[in-house]
Amino acid sequence: MKKKDKSHSHSHLAFDHVSFSYKHSDKFTSVFDNINLTIHEKEFVTILGPSGAGKSTFFRLASGLEQPESGHIRLRDKEERHRLGKIGYMPQQDLLLPWRTVLENGLLPLEIKGMNKKEAREKVLHHMKKFGLLGTEDHYPHQLSGGMRQRVSFLRAILGGNEILLLDEPFSALDSMTRYMMQEWLLEQWHEWDKTIIFITHDVEEAIFLSDRVLMLTHPPIKGEIDEVNVPISRPRNEEHRSDAAFMKLKQDLLKKMRSKERSL
């Protein structure tokens, strides 16, 4: 498995002095206050934080479901207000259509694009082999395990054709063993996809195992520069890395940072 070369990577998604608040009755609750961050092309970045820290709000802003009150959001160094459909978004629930088979669920993004039915079917079947889904073409979602359902969901996200994928805690509902296996599977696929991935989690170990960088959020309002930690663990990664001394030290350091930030609120 080749290691991705990010030495000359470009900005893929950037928040420049972005502010955003939610309105409740007559009151405004600030979530982001003049924040800045840059995600580079083909990078794997995880946003780590507890519930209510603004992780999902970040995704809504990035994907175009919300617009900032002030500041700019740029895609490939160009300000982009119309971001809907230009960034892939995979929520926690797989949202597979229960009345469609695995193959039919996979075909959905290609149908929306208007692709020829024969060409679309061939493309989905090609990807199903790579995703370990051959033999499940005629299965319905309720006949699949949680891990297999997530693979179908990833398949749909990849076939959507977006260069940036936002993954909102996709493994949170899985048992620990399946979760570990899916983390390793995701990294293997990422090396083949050439995608930029932004991953939400509240699990410190998951953040370290997957990421090039970890962005840390605590309770809002989040102001200015977002705290980040580089993950200096070599790729490709496997189960053995979880017990490495460097991995364990980084895990403890991140936990201390998160606790320190919580206590300072």
Predicted confidence (pLDDT) per residue in 203-238, tens digit: 999 999 999 999 999 888 899 889 999 999 999 998
What's the pLDDT score for residue 94?
Answer: 84
Three-point CA angle 5, 6, 11, nearest 5°: 150
- CA dist., res. 136 & res. 206, Å (int): 28
Span(s) in the chain for CATH 3.40.50.300: 11-87+171-263
- What is 11-87+171-263's CATH number, 1.10.3720.10, 3.40.50.300, 3.40.50.720, 2.40.430.10? 3.40.50.300
Q: Which residues of the chain fall below pLDDT 50? A: 1-3, 6-8
Tell me which residue of 224, 233, 199, 196 sits closest to 214, measured CA to CA: 199
Each residue of 117-151: pLDDT tens digit?
Answer: 999 999 999 888 888 898 999 999 999 999 999 99
- C-alpha distance from residue 176 to each of 42, 131, 173, 180, 247 (Å): 27, 20, 9, 6, 18
State residue 228 phi and psi, 5-degree precision. -140, 155
Cβ–Cβ under 8 Å, residues 87 and 166? yes
| Residues 57, 52: Cα–Cα separation, whole Å | 9
CA-based radius of gyration for the chain: 19
Sheet strands side by side (includes 222-225): 78-79, 70-75, 11-24, 27-40, 222-225
